[in-house]
Copies of this chain bind each other. A is one copy, B any other.
Amino acid sequence: MFEKVKVDENEYVRVPRDELFRVVKDVFMAMNVPEEDAEIVAENLVMADLRGVESHGVQRLKRYVDGIKAGGVKINPNIKVVKESPVYAVLDGDEALGQVVAYRAMRMAIEKAKKNGIGIVGVKNSNHYGIAGYYAYKMAKEGLVGMSLTTSRPLVAPTGAMEKFVGTNPIALGAPVEGEEPFLLDMATSVVPSGKIEVYRRKDKPVPEGWGISTENGEIITDPHVILSPKGTILPLGGLGELHGGHKGYGLGVLVDILSGVLMGATWSRHVGGTSDKHSDVGHFFMAIDPGAFGDAEEFKKNMKKMKEELHNAKKHPNFERIWVHGEKGHLTAQTRLEIGIPIYRKVFNEINEIAKEVGVEPLKE
């Protein structure tokens, strides 16, 4: 959510936010997903595109549809609460659409936090849940500090290894700010998310050195096609080895595997499957904390605002236009896109319309 978003208008078609939401929701409904669930998934995917995280947006629609078709994703899952107390719970997602069970878990965390100060709710047997920040943002909008973690399929080499092993396992944290949009950190624990490398692959351009290595000899490689193939792997945040802290990014990836995978009875790292696998067993971790339980809720929001202002006014580096605080770029991007439409890559636009026609839904208009 932090990268500068540059759009080449020739490559994209601008689609109004509500129209994009409509088509995605209708596609899921046409596949017999209940309306309420279809809305959650559509909101989640469209929010990613709205905020400039297209890798997690509607370009994934085909994978979701394929997952449902292949039977790896259940549209009428029997979601069960397997553990519960006033402050925590674990849900068995029964291979639901990740967003559907994740949304329910997040709502439970919110309710528990509002009643009892804290809510930690985990999920096992889930699928890809979209952007981690979606849930952290929602919790922050409810006045809570919200954390959202998820396991994901193996794409990153642990320090000392040269194999796709740990997921890009994101960490998201949202917090309310007085009179402003929430603080929102949403980061892969890899040096870059795979979606960033996919952009280079699409443009057939080499990625910067330090993003990926060969799985054959461990050397730094810059060909995005190879990094995303079995012959390459992404590096953890901090890069290769320990010199610039690669062991920290690797450790954060394992932290996410422990909290959202092992702790919740879900699997971890290389065992996590993709959307179209028969049993991906993705795990999630949601934590909501009420600042009003730990102190004064208004004071918290005021201090968050003060902290943001101070960061903005830190001594600026001459090579940067300004000091951004997490969540701001995504919000500004969303504001613009709500006005002028969301740029959808033409190939994705066509793909969505093919799916729409296939399931008998009104396609997007250009």
A residues contacting B by CB (< 8 A) are 2-3, 83, 85, 87-88, 90, 116-118, 120, 122, 145, 157-163, 165, 171, 173, 175, 183, 185, 187-189, 191-192, 208, 210-211, 213, 215, 217-218, 237-239, 241-245, 247-249, 251-252, 254-255, 257-259, 262-265, 268-270, 289, 291, 293-296, 299-300, 303-304, 307, 310-311, 314-326
Contact = CB atoms under 8 A, between A and B. Distances in A.
Given A88-B117, A295-B263, A317 B175 contact: no
Contacts of A249: 237, 245
A243 B173 CA distance: 21
A83 B295 contact: yes
Contacts of A259: 145, 173
A268 B304 CA distance: 10
A269 B307 contact: yes
Contacts of A262: 175, 291, 300, 303-304, 307
Contact of A161 (B122, B175, B315): B315
Given A159-B323, A161-B315, 17 more contacts: A2-B247, A2-B248, A2-B251, A87-B117, A161-B323, A175-B262, A185-B251, A187-B247, A187-B252, A208-B243, A237-B238, A237-B248, A237-B249, A247-B326, A262-B291, A262-B304, A263-B289
Given A208-B243, A304-B258, A323-B158, A85 B314 contact: no
A218 B160 contact: no
B245 A237 contact: yes
A251 to B, nearest CB: 4
A343 to B, nearest CB: 21
B145 A294 contact: no
